[in-house]
Amino acid sequence: METKKEDQIQNLDNLIRKGKYVEGLELSKKMEQNETLNQKDLLRAQLLRTFILRRIEKYDESLRLSEQIFRKCKNNNFELLEIESLIMMGSINRAIANYDQALKNILTAEEILLSLQDKKSDTRLRLEGRLNRVKGAIFRSKSSYDEALELLLKAKTIQEEQYDRFHLADSYKELGIILWLKGNLDEGLIYFQKSFKILQELGNEWEAIENLNNIGIIHIYKGEHQTALNYLFQSMEFSKKLGKETSLSNVLNNIGEIYGNYLGEPAKALKFFEKSLDLSRKLSAKIDNRLEIAVKLLNIGGVHENKGEFELALEYFQDSLGMLQALNEKHYIADCLQGIGDVYRKKGLFPKALEHYQKSLAIRKEIGNAVEESSTLNSLIALTVDMQSLKEAEKYLEQLESLREASENKILNLRYRLCRAIYLKAGGSSTEDLSFNSLYGVLNKLVTAQQLLDGIISEKIVVHNLTVDAIFNYCEILFTELKTLGNDQVLGEIDKLTQKLMQIGIEKNYYALQAKTYFLQAKLVLLKPSVDEAKKLLTKAQKITQEKGYDRLGIIISKELKKLEGELPEWLMEEEISFIDKISKLQLEGLIVSLRQNRVESLATGEIKAPNIQQLASFTRSLKERKISW
């Protein structure tokens, strides 16, 4: 009879390892009705049942049963089962965002574990491995990433030595998440793949879904968007098949992120985000999933920002921020503050943008993800340059340089070179004193900036958005030369850059970039002037905005098209009008500044400052006198 009881418990454990949770629940109920089971075996069976309930997201029932088991184990001095029940309570409390109680459960379990006399038994070591894994997951949820990583590595070591593969898969998954959050994408991917492989070998589809989703997320961040979609659509189908609503909600959100942030399909993105948000709100009646809801609000805000719907974006960002701050989710708080800063910058409210970027930077520094910290520093440098606060920009540039020197990361190196070029360009584009020495220094900075930007544009693309930023900054320098000297040969260089922009837009499905590039090209051909060609380009831009849902951008482009379809302004066809006057009339400077600042929807005003002809003539004479070639 004893063998039969052990067989039943082993069968139940095997069903759990294979993710056969429905069959497992049925077997656990039968075992509870089995009068031949002693109290200890009954509690073991019930503990396995709580594990199933936890995995199928019936958190309230699982927690109640775990607490009952804990009290019975404590009363009967079943120490090992007492530890198991506390670990389960900690795991459930973490899942429902009750992090302080979860940590309290785990610390109590740890205290009992340390008091056991047999320090090296397999059972004790396996419990220690599970305890460290759950404790690490709690610290990860509390944004204490370094502590979490240390605990999870301990768990991994124990579970590898004990060949505890099912729980090792959990530890691998948690390690993948931590490394992803810390910016170590390749290492994170390796752990997700290891976890997925174990679960596949166990035949556990239920748990494997999570890794498909996580692998998809890593590929998003690596810029491999089609690969990411393949994994995410697999995860979506498995989630539907198995009825995993939380997983389905998360994967819908991640698919939306790809369409919204990377493939330039805001309408598709909103469709997936809204489905995900609706499902999360439905689930909130059963579980505390405020974090999931907050992240989805954040993502929807991002779509509206990209569409130029700034007020709507702010509304979603602010709602998300309030929830995230209540949960102290630092990683997402930093993302949200960055998003709000981006919106204020695009609205031209620079002091508010600065405030939010600075708050985001402080959190990024605390977390220690150098790549994300560099992203916020990039925003701060570009913003303070636009505010003409070059001392502030220099301070942030020095911080970015320190990050670059501490790592061989390609993205950090690229961001530093781009930001240094932006800073030098600003120092080389405005000065009251246009004496020889001053102007020579100005042009020196511009040339260095131009060389840095040209290097970024010419080399293999690492991050497409940064290459696009480099192109727009380079265009701005060329426009300064175009306006200053009236040298129409510069137009050839600008034309090549717009072709590069279009190539990136097509390759990466950046539809908004395609439309904006057509818009810029239309303005440029009007310098010839070629009205028919400009109309064709604007019509292409208009079609993209209509098909892909970029309504605000579409309004701007449609207005430009109507101007050309109506009565043309006389100056456009005049032969005597100067080239520089045409640039001014076409508002090309305002457009290029708006493109650089990514705020075409609100078309920035203001012109690029340039020396006048007399100042340049004086400077040229000085060059000849000093026998300096330029």
3-state secondary structure of 398: helix
Round to whole Å and give the CA distance between 94 and 137.
8
pLDDT of residue 605: 40
Average pLDDT over residues 5-33: 86
Residues 393 and 502 in one domain: no
Average pLDDT over residues 402-423: 92
Identify whether the C-beta of residue 438 lies closer than 8 Å to the C-beta of residue 476. no
Question: At residue 244, does pLDDT exceed 60?
Answer: yes
Residues 436 and 406 in one domain: yes
pLDDT of residue 321: 98
Look at the block and give the residue holding tokens 């560099």.
374
Residues 487 and 433 in one domain: no
Last residue of a domain, one of 441, 459, 477: 459
**pLDDT tier, 221 (very low <50, low <70, confident <90, very high otherwise):** confident
E strand spans, 285-388: none
Identify whether the C-beta of residue 181 lies closer than 8 Å to the C-beta of residue 218. no
Round to whole Å and give the CA distance between 578 and 586.
12
Average pLDDT over residues 474-488: 79
Q: Is residue 584 part of a domain?
A: yes
pLDDT of residue 3: 45
Question: At residue 332, does pLDDT exceed 60?
Answer: yes
pLDDT of residue 59: 87
Alpha helices in 203-306 (DSSP H): 205-221, 225-242, 245-257, 266-283, 290-306
3-state secondary structure of 97: coil
**Domain ranges, residue 396:** 328-459
Round to whole Å and give the CA distance between 563 and 571.
13
Q: Is residue 272 part of a domain?
A: yes
Average pLDDT over residues 41-65: 91
pLDDT of residue 563: 87
Q: Is residue 318 part of a domain?
A: no
Which range, 181-195, 418-432, 594-608, has the best average confidence (pLDDT)?
Answer: 181-195
Question: At residue 607, does pLDDT exceed 50?
Answer: no
pLDDT of residue 4: 62
pLDDT of residue 604: 37
Average pLDDT over residues 424-438: 62
> Taking the CA of residue 595 as centre, how many other CA atoms within 13 Å lie in the half-sphere pointing to its CB?
29
Identify whether the C-beta of residue 620 lies closer than 8 Å to the C-beta of residue 605. no
Please give the tally of structural domains in the chain. 3
Residues 426 and 503 in one domain: no
Look at the block and give the residue holding tokens 């930093």.
334
Q: Which two tokens stand for residue 139?
A: 């610290």
Q: Is residue 60 part of a domain?
A: no
What CATH number corresponds to the domain at position 280? Answer: 1.25.40.10
Question: At residue 190, does pLDDT exceed 90?
Answer: yes
Residues 282 and 212 in one domain: yes
Residues 455 and 536 in one domain: no
Average pLDDT over residues 468-476: 94
Q: If we measure between CA atoms, which residue out of 241, 336, 118, 609 comes closest to residue 251?
A: 241
Query: What 3 state SS string does 402-452 have?
Result: HHHHCCCCHHHHHHHHHHHHHHHHHHCCCCCCCCHHHHHHHHHHHHHHHHH
pLDDT in tens, 495-550: 999 999 999 999 888 899 999 999 999 999 988 888 999 999 999 999 999 998 88
Burial of 606 (0-12, 13-18, 19+ CB in 10 A): exposed
Round to whole Å and give the CA distance between 491 and 525.
10
541: amino acid identity, one letter:
A
Residues 474 and 605 in one domain: yes
Residues 338 and 251 in one domain: no
Round to whole Å and give the CA distance between 583 and 572.
11
Q: At what angle are helices 185-202 and 165-181 packed, to 10 degrees?
A: 160
Q: What residues have CB less than 8 Å from 107, skipping those under 6 apart?
A: none
Question: At residue 611, does pLDDT exceed 60?
Answer: no
Is the backbone of residue 549 left (phi > 0), alpha (psi -120 to 50) or beta? left
pLDDT of residue 438: 63
Question: At residue 223, does pLDDT exceed 70?
Answer: yes
Q: Is residue 94 part of a domain?
A: no
Question: How many residues appear in the chain?
Answer: 630
Q: Is residue 399 part of a domain?
A: yes
Residues 438 and 525 in one domain: no
Q: Which two tokens stand for residue 228?
A: 């990411």
Q: Is residue 1 part of a domain?
A: no
3-state secondary structure of 173: helix
Residues 267 and 345 in one domain: no
Q: If we measure between CA atoms, which residue out of 277, 376, 276, 369 comes closest to residue 331?
A: 369
Residues 565 and 586 in one domain: yes
pLDDT of residue 463: 84
Question: At residue 435, does pLDDT exceed 60?
Answer: no
Last residue of a domain, one of 459, 485, 510: 459
Last residue of a domain, one of 459, 483, 517: 459
**pLDDT tier, 610 (very low <50, low <70, confident <90, very high otherwise):** very low
Task: State the average pLDDT for the chain.
Answer: 87
pLDDT of residue 630: 47
Neighbours of 459 (CB within 10 A): 11
Helix (H) / strand (E) element for 120: namely none
* CA-atom Rg of the chain in angstroms: 30
Of the ranges 105-114, 453-462, 579-588, which one carries the lowest mean pLDDT score? 579-588
Q: If we measure between CA atoms, which residue out of 422, 348, 379 comes closest to residue 603?
A: 348
Residues 441 and 468 in one domain: no
Total-model pTM: 0.72
Q: Is residue 96 part of a domain?
A: no
